[in-house]
Amino acid sequence: METSGLTSTGNLALVNPLQAQGVVVPTPPENLGPRVLELSSVLQVTLDIEAQIELFGKEIQRYLLIDGLGYDLPNGGPTVSYGSEAARRATYDLKLEDKSLGSVHVCRELPFSRKEITSLENLLCALVYPLRNALSYRHAVESASRDPLTGAQNRLALSNALLREVDLAKRQDLPLSMLVIDIDHFKTFNDTFGHSFGDDVLVAVAEMIANTVRRSDLLYRFGGEEFVVLASHTEEAGAMLLAERIRSNIEAMQTVRGRDIRVTVSTGVATLNDDESAEDFFSRADQALYSAKNDGRNLSRMG
């Protein structure tokens, strides 16, 4: 791994993890020049993090020979990549005013020279402010699309995602399934124990669903006591298996916030047909949910 020290410009810091272990490179960075300002302007044209990383990778290849780079968001999530991985890495934690902006690694097969590391650090300075803005925008969008109680995405987010996922599944000729999940007799919890406990049940069910589905599956609170899961690359058999796993895991919960309680759910399942719209797709899963309820609840039914 290539190492470098700490480059600081005002309240901006690019910190290599090895700096904290006592690895100090005394060579001062070259002055920020017009190319850094130019690069910063280029990166400001978008608030999309993936697009920024791709632009950054393309632009720094004008000045440095690299094979690729990767960016890790500050709060986890998949790595955003450009180009390809290689044996040699220069890795930096990005911070602005003591706030973490994630980490970036730049890689290639050949070792980096001292001068190249200095240039790289200066070029990274151009990324930090556009990246800060993109992260703030991402957080605002995610906050607007999240249900504040359960943390699941909300109905508005589902409307946008459903159109996108249906279009993607049709273009790539891949299966897409939907689960519409409803908590059985939810009104009883509110009437018997109060709305605060009803909220506890919603949170517990949302957490159980989130812990059961795959990382690639998308979870939404559709409204009230109803949740929706979009399962990409999933055919009928896999969707029913997922629905039953969710149903059995929720039924197995013995307590909610210390109170002994039995919670069950009914689920409608549908797999996208080639000729149906997103609206018809949802309607078919919703009708399957009503079948599950009419057949006695605590069931999964295919639409």
Tell me the C-alpha distance between 148 and 172, whole Å.
34
Strand, coil or helix: what is 233? coil
Q: Which listed residue (30, 225, 235, 279) is catalytic?
A: 225
Q: Which CB contacts under 8 angstroms, 24+ apart, belong to 163-170?
A: 163/278, 165/218, 165/230, 165/232, 166/272, 166/277, 166/278, 166/281, 168/232, 169/232, 169/272, 170/272, 170/274
- 276 part of the active site: no
Asked if residues 226 and 182 have their Cβ atoms less than 8 Å apart, the reply is: yes
Give start and end residues of each alpha helix (H) in the chain.
34-43, 49-60, 114-144, 155-172, 186-193, 195-212, 236-251, 278-294
- Which residues are tagged catalytic? 225
